[in-house]
């Protein structure tokens, strides 16, 4: 795991973070870690955009999945 050092934080910011840590019954370090983790999660819009890009990379299959399921269901051969 990596470490970072943040210099020159405003004292009011530090006090607010400490107060949040006390309210959440966690350490200041854990509170800051959680906030940073949450801040770096992709937004819903980012996830939707990534899904759209992935979808565009593939092609639409000409095979109908319903037909495949029916063919498999109607197959009398035993499973291997």
DSSP string, 2-45: ------S--HHHHHHHHHHHHHHTS-HHHHHHHHHHHHTSPPHH
Give the mean pLDDT of 47-54.
94
Q: How high does pLDDT run on average in the chain? A: 92
**How many Å apart are CA 23 and CA 17, to the nearest integer?**
10
pLDDT on residue 9: 96
Segment 5-22, tens digit of pLDDT: 999 999 999 999 999 999
């Amino acid at each position: 795991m990596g470490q970072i050092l943040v210099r020159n934080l405003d004292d009011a910011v530090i006090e607010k973070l400490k107060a949040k840590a006390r309210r959440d019954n966690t350490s200041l370090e854990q509170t800051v870690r959680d906030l940073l983790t949450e801040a770096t999660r992709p937004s819903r819009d980012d996830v939707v955009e990534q899904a759209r890009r992935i979808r565009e990379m593939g092609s639409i299959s000409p095979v109908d999945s319903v037909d495949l399921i029916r063919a498999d269901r109607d197959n009398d051969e035993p499973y291997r």
